[in-house]
């Protein structure tokens, strides 16, 4: 065992901090994770702020067991076999997200899928049970740095931004979990990791193809491997006001008058709150049926950079889109 094992009191204290929306670094069998309550958007936003991530990527959601996984994701027969074989352990499954869960939309970056993992490390398990909530946890390092495998590395990298670090000595594997996309007809390997492909093949009868976003092979089902949520409505940035018919995505205390649907990401101008609300706001404005979304200027600092990165991509023309909608296509 490692040099230190957190006491039950330390785990209770960590769980209380997590439930209060704070960040706690904890050991897993792969690498140390930077944990936040996955049902609390502002807590999840703090992960991105602490990591200095330039972008909002979807995060892995850690749960205590299969039952807790079933509460947030739809687990089909193949996923179930993989879960039975490898959970608890270093396998992450990307699964359809259940429609009505308490999960924040920031944790899945607005996607309809969720990456779920049940860690086997006893401290991670104990923390999940004590917290009673799913925990978002990317590797506990600053963006661009390598994953951390000891508490000392976490302290050096993230120090002041975490409320507590649970130290259980060096991580066992030292590489991240294997990520499998189990949302399509065939499994895809999104990230090679601690569970080797041979072990997966032994369970499912074939070796999942490595999916590289840089080289997407013929997308059999469009959108199946989309790693980014984009609203259907056109997005217009740096808008001083919304035009007739547009919905308004506002920010800060001074909002131009508008008759149409308006959502303010943060009336007080708080970028953490704005980040927490970004994806659910885009979804809601999209559902309102407006053909366009006018977005007020969001400051380009702190999490504003990640918010603007997402909004710029949502506003960009989408080369993958078919030129016409299905209705106007000749068959
Ligand atoms: O070993 C691990 O998995 C560690 C420990 C702490 O559990 N966690 C970790 O998380 O490596 P993170 O956030 O650094 O890696 C998450 C990866 C990203 O590459 C992200 O794109 C992918 O998982 N991911 C998360 N949700 C996804 C989704 N819905 N669809 C596709 N990829 C997803
Ligand atoms: Mg990482």
Q: Using CB atoms within 10 Å of the CB of residue 223, give its burial: 0 to 12 exposed, 13 to 18 middle, 19+ buried.
A: exposed
Which whole number is the average pLDDT over 164-173? 96
Task: Verify whether ligand 1 is closer than 6 Å to residue 290 (CB atom).
Answer: no
Task: Please measure the distance between the N-terminal and C-terminal CA atoms of the chain and give it in whole angstroms.
Answer: 65
CA–centroid distance, residue 117 to ligand 2 (Å): 15
* Calpha distance 146→125 (Å, rounded): 24
pLDDT tens sequence across 251-278: 999 999 999 999 999 999 999 999 999 9
Atom of ligand 1 nearest to the CA of 115: 26
Task: Verify whether ligand 1 is closer than 6 Å to residue 230 (CB atom).
Answer: no
Task: Verify whether ligand 1 is closer than 6 Å to residue 50 (CB atom).
Answer: no
Q: What is the DSSP letter of 327?
A: G
Residue 325 is predicted with a pLDDT of 34
Please spell the DSSP secondary structure of 135-202, one letter per residue.
Answer: EE--BSS-TTSPPP-SHHHHHHHHGGG-SEE---SS-SS-SPPEEEE-SSSS-EEEE--SS-HHHHHH
* Calpha distance 180→328 (Å, rounded): 36
Cβ-Cβ contacts under 8 Å for 196 (sequence gap 6 or more): 178
Q: Are strands 113-117 and 234-236 parallel, antiparallel or unpaired?
A: unpaired
In this structure, the number of other CB atoms found within 10 A of the CB of residue 39 comes to 19
Query: What percent of the chain shows pLDDT beyond 90?
Result: 82
Confidence tier at 120 by pLDDT (50, 70, 90): very high
pLDDT tens sequence across 282-316: 999 999 899 999 999 999 999 999 999 999 988 88
* Calpha distance 263→281 (Å, rounded): 7
Residue 109 is predicted with a pLDDT of 94
Q: Between the CA of residue 110 and those of 58, 162, 178, 229, what are the distances in Å? A: 8, 25, 22, 5
* Calpha distance 153→159 (Å, rounded): 9
């Amino acid at each position: 065992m490692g040099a230190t094992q957190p006491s039950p009191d330390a785990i209770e204290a960590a769980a209380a901090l997590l439930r209060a929306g704070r960040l706690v670094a904890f050991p897993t069998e792969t690498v140390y994770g930077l944990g936040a309550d996955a049902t609390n958007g502002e807590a999840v936003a703090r992960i991105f702020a602490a990591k200095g991530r330039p972008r909002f990527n979807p995060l892995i959601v850690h749960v205590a067991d299969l039952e807790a996984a079933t509460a947030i994701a739809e687990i089909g027969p193949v996923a179930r076999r993989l879960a039975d074989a490898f959970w608890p352990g270093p396998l992450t499954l990307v699964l359809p997200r259940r429609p009505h869960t308490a999960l924040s939309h920031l944790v899945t970056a607005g996607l309809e899928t969720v990456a779920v993992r049940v860690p086997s490390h006893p401290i991670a398990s104990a923390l999940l049970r004590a917290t009673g909530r799913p925990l978002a946890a990317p590797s506990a390092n600053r963006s661009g740095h390598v994953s951390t495998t000891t508490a000392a590395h976490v302290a050096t990298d993230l120090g002041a931004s975490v409320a507590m670090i649970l130290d259980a000595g060096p991580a066992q594997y030292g590489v991240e979990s294997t990520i499998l996309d189990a949302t399509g007809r065939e499994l895809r390997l999104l990230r090679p990791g601690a569970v080797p492909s041979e072990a997966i093949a032994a369970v499912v009868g074939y070796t999942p193809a490595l999916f590289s976003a840089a080289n997407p092979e013929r997308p059999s089902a469009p959108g199946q491997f989309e790693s980014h949520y984009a609203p259907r409505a056109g997005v217009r940035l740096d808008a001083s006001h919304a035009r007739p018919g547009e919905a308004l995505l506002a920010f800060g205390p001074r909002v131009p008058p508008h008759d149409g649907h308006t959502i303010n990401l943060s009336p007080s101008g708080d970028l953490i709150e704005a980040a927490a609300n970004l994806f659910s706001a885009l979804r809601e404005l999209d559902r309102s049926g407006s053909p366009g979304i006018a977005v007020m200027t969001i400051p380009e600092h702190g999490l504003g950079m990640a918010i603007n990165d997402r909004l710029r991509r949502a506003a960009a023309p989408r080369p993958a889109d078919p030129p016409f909608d299905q209705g106007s296509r000749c068959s």
